Structure 1
Amino acid sequence: MMKFGIIGTNWITDSFIRAGRKVDGFELAAVYSRTERTASEFAAKHGVRHTFTDLERMAASGEIDAVYIASPNSLHAEHAIACLRKGVHVLCEKPLASNAAEVARMLEASEQSGSALMEAMKSTLLPNFAAIRASLPKIGKIRRYFASYCQYSSRYDAFRKGTVLNAFNPAFSNGALMDLGVYCLYPAIVLFGKPRSVKAGGMLLSSGADGEGSMLLEYDGMEGVIQYSKISDSSLPSEIQGEDGTIVIDRISQPQRVEIRYRDGRIEDASVGQDDETMKYEIEEFIRLVKRGRRESETNSHANSLAAMEAVDAARRQIGLRYPADDR
């Protein structure tokens, strides 16, 4: 069994635990929170034996083999490095950090300690993403990758009334690009590699966080077009366009239906079955690589995570989006 500690006590950790309990080898052993009350309440809800309010103590306790980090984006690097230095394996929510400099420090800590580090980008580890990748040769030479994730945030209602919640607070390295845009960007990196160049546009809110934006990724012979928003909705699917056909993806963040539409009019359903608890696949991948003595996933690799964050940094520079973490 792999004994997990939890850092962060929000809804995403509830989802993680539900999924983890479907995975062989997963054991929930400890929870960390800044306050004893929060830690105890979360532990009682999920039947966790050990609680900690000191992260260093949890990492050195011997009660855990690995941590799942779901703290605010601005704290990912700090929390991950503290655990890695104690020999604890780290599965860290997306985005892996606030910027590429932080990612580089995390990768260095992983290398020095020999402990595994993986970005919990679930979409690229789903069976239907594997189906997308396997379908690429069927559509001929790839010419365009288009990904859209525009979902109006309920927290924007509070923002419009004058209350800035964490989702739109740059102090936590939050906003549309970090929350939704990375879901569009990361698959492009996994499928096609690091782009030659990035061009970006976006809209900053009065808080300094971004509400929406777009990116143009330049590759040899093809381009990637990305749009994302937390202040408007879109029902557009995503596509990978080739010279002989197009792969249509219902939701780039969590593909459920994958369809190949050929130029001759044929339509092929390329979807495969996958569990409704989609986070189970990232947990399985993480446990598998640790058991094999590896520090990184082949899909959500260190190089892919760094390339994605370098593209995010390039986009942020172009739209004038800065975080306090950039000055650390």
Structure 2
Amino acid sequence: MVKLAILGTGFIANILMKVIHEIEDVEVCAVLAVNDEDAESFASSYGIPKRYTDYDKLLDDGEIEFVYVALPNHLHYEYAKKALEKGKNAIVEKPFVSSEEEVEELIAVAKANKRMLFDATITKYIPTLDSMKKNLHRVGEIKHVTTSYCQYSSRFNAVREGNIPGVFTLEHDGGALKDLGIYPINFIVALFGKPDLIRYYANKLENGCDSSGVLIMQYKTFITTSLIAKDSFTENRCTVEGYDGTLFVDDDCFRFPNLRFKKRAGDESEQIDRLQVNGLANEFNCFMRMYKDRDFEACYYNLEKTKVVIEVLKTAAESAGLVYG
């Protein structure tokens, strides 16, 4: 069994523990929390034997092979780098890190220590994305790609009451673009590579953080439009539209539950694929297969693609005047 330590006890850490039984040959043996009470509560809830509040002590634990960095965005780089330097493999939650330079530095540290490093962005590993790649030719010449990921945040009521949580501050790398925009960026870059032009138009709070916005990216012969919101919701959908037809996903590109095709507007939809697995469990199973196969080539190749995504994300933020940290 691969021994994994979870760094953090927030929302995504709890979600992982609820699907851990679907991940092959992984045992969560430790958790890192900000205080003893949080560590004890989380560990007791899920039967985790080891509890830490000191990161150095966790990294000195020789049993631990992997750390899962499920901490606030601004801590990802620091904690991942320290883990790699201590000989641990690392899985880092989205949006990975803040810049291409930080990605390059982490890749260099991983290679120097012969360790694996994974970008935990679910979209990259969802099987229905592969199905879309295989069926892109059916739409003919592509003219427009649309995505929407708009969901009213459980913490936005606090914002409206004047109590601003860290996820809605630029100091903590918060906002709609970094939290939700990372998914459509990964979706579009996975299909088409780096865009020629990137522009993000943001609705901002008084503190300058974006609560929603529209991301436009231009390629040689088509444009992509992504709606992103944490202050409102819609019925999300993704499309790839061309001269000869349209591919549809009936939700955002994080959930990516299905893929269907229409040749003409009045046609019945042809169902191409449905997601049969839990997205989070699926990506962890992908990581563990690469780890067991010692497939460093695939690991580092995926990180090069992550570098492109982070570069796009940074350019989008700069275009809207968003300054993090």
**What TM-score range do you get, normalising by the shorter chain?**
over 0.9
Partner of 2:119: 119
- Cα offset for 1:267? 2.2
Partner of 1:292: 293
- Cα offset for 1:217? 1.4
- Are 2:21 and 1:57 aligned? no
Listed as ranges, the gaps of 5+ residues in structure 1 are none
1:26-175 aligned within 5 A? 26-175=26-175
Moved segments of 4+, more than 6 Å: none
Q: Give distance in 2, aligned partners of 1:123 and 1:12.
A: 15
Q: Deviations over 1:139-181 (max 9, x none)?
A: 2232222111111213111111110012212221011001111
Q: Give distance in 2, aligned partners of 1:139 and 1:266.
A: 16
Q: Which amino acid aligns with 1:223?
A: I
- Cα offset for 1:300? 8.2
Checking the alignment, whether the CA contact within 8 Å between 2:118 and 2:299 is kept in structure 1 is: no
- Cα offset for 1:266? 4.8
User: Are residues 249 and 20 of structure 1, via their aligned partners in 2, closer, same or farther at CA, if it must alter by over 3 Å?
Assistant: same
Q: Give distance in 2, aligned partners of 1:321 and 1:153.
A: 20
- Are 2:271 and 1:269 aligned? yes
Matched position secondary structure for 2:13:
helix
Q: Give distance in 1, aligned partners of 2:106 and 2:293.
A: 21
Checking the alignment, whether the CA contact within 8 Å between 2:39 and 2:51 is kept in structure 1 is: yes
Partner of 1:8: 8
- Cα offset for 1:36? 1.9
Q: Give distance in 1, aligned partners of 2:298 and 2:162.
A: 42
- Are 2:208 and 1:218 aligned? no
Q: Give distance in 1, aligned partners of 2:291 and 2:8.
A: 22
Q: Which amino acid aligns with 1:160?
A: R
User: Are residues 299 and 89 of structure 1, via their aligned partners in 2, closer, same or farther at CA, if it must alter by over 3 Å?
Assistant: closer
Q: Which TM-score applies when normalising by structure 1?
A: 0.93
Q: Give distance in 2, aligned partners of 1:173 and 1:108.
A: 24
User: Are residues 236 and 61 of structure 1, via their aligned partners in 2, closer, same or farther at CA, if it must alter by over 3 Å?
Assistant: closer
Q: How many residues align?
A: 323
C-alpha RMSD over aligned residues = 1.8
Listed as ranges, the gaps of 5+ residues in structure 2 are none
Q: Give distance in 2, aligned partners of 1:144 and 1:294.
A: 36
Matched position secondary structure for 2:195:
coil
Checking the alignment, whether the CA contact within 8 Å between 1:124 and 1:300 is kept in structure 2 is: no
User: Are residues 78 and 299 of structure 1, via their aligned partners in 2, closer, same or farther at CA, if it must alter by over 3 Å?
Assistant: closer
Q: Deviations over 1:266-301 (max 9, x none)?
A: 5210123412x3211111011011112134656981
Q: Which amino acid aligns with 2:254?
A: S
Q: Which amino acid aligns with 2:70?
A: A
Matched position secondary structure for 1:233:
coil
Q: Deviations over 1:204-256 (max 9, x none)?
A: 21123111112221222222221211112122411011221111111222111
Q: Give distance in 2, aligned partners of 1:15 and 1:230.
A: 19
Checking the alignment, whether the CA contact within 8 Å between 2:107 and 2:300 is kept in structure 1 is: no
Checking the alignment, whether the CA contact within 8 Å between 1:170 and 1:208 is kept in structure 2 is: yes
1:243-262 aligned within 5 A? 243-251=243-251, 252-262=253-263
User: Are residues 284 and 86 of structure 1, via their aligned partners in 2, closer, same or farther at CA, if it must alter by over 3 Å?
Assistant: same
User: Are residues 70 and 200 of structure 1, via their aligned partners in 2, closer, same or farther at CA, if it must alter by over 3 Å?
Assistant: same
